[in-house]
Amino acid sequence: MSKLISPHGSDTLRVLLLDGKEKEAELKRAATLPKLVMSSRETGDLIMLGIGGFTPLDGFMGHDDWKGVCEGMKMSTGVFWPIPITLSHDEKIKTGTEVCLVSGETEEIMGTMKVTECYEIDKEFECKHVFTTTDPEHPGVKMVMAQKKYNLGGPVKVLSESYFPTEFAGIYQRPSESRKIFEERGWKTIAALQLRNPMHRSHEYLAKIAVEVSDGIYIHQLVGQLKPGDIPADVRVNCINTLVENYFDKSRVVTGGYPLDMRYGGPREGLLHAVFRQNFGCTHMIIGRDHAGVGDYYGPFDAQEIFHKLWDGALECKMLPIDWTFWCFKCGGMASMKTCPHGKEDRLFLSGTALRKALSEGGEVPAEFSRPEVLAILREYYAGLKEKVEVKLHGHATGETKKKK
User: Which of 283, 275, 281 has the alpha carbon at shortest distance from 9?
Assistant: 275
Q: Which segments of 96-135 are extended strands (E)?
A: 98-103, 109-114, 117-120
Active site residue 197: yes
Q: Is 201 a catalytic site residue?
A: no
CA distance 296 to 290: 9
Instruction: Name every residue whose Cβ is closer than 8 Å to that of residue 314 and which is 6 or more positions away in sequence.
Output: 73, 80
Measure the N-to-C terminal CA separation of the chain; round to a whole number of Å: 50
Distance CA 307, CA 317 (A): 10
**Among 14, 179, 196, 268, the one annotated catalytic:** 196
Closest CA to 35 of 106, 98, 119, 85: 98
Residue 298 and residue 355: Cα distance in Å, rounded?
Answer: 20
Instruction: For residues 118 and 61, give the distance between their C-alpha atoms in angstroms, rounded to a whole number.
Output: 10
Q: What are the CA-CA distances from residue 154 to residues 84, 122, 279 (Å)?
A: 13, 19, 21
Return the bridge partners of 320, or none: 286
Catalytic residue (choose from 14, 151, 179, 197): 197
**Which positions are annotated as active-site residues?**
196-197
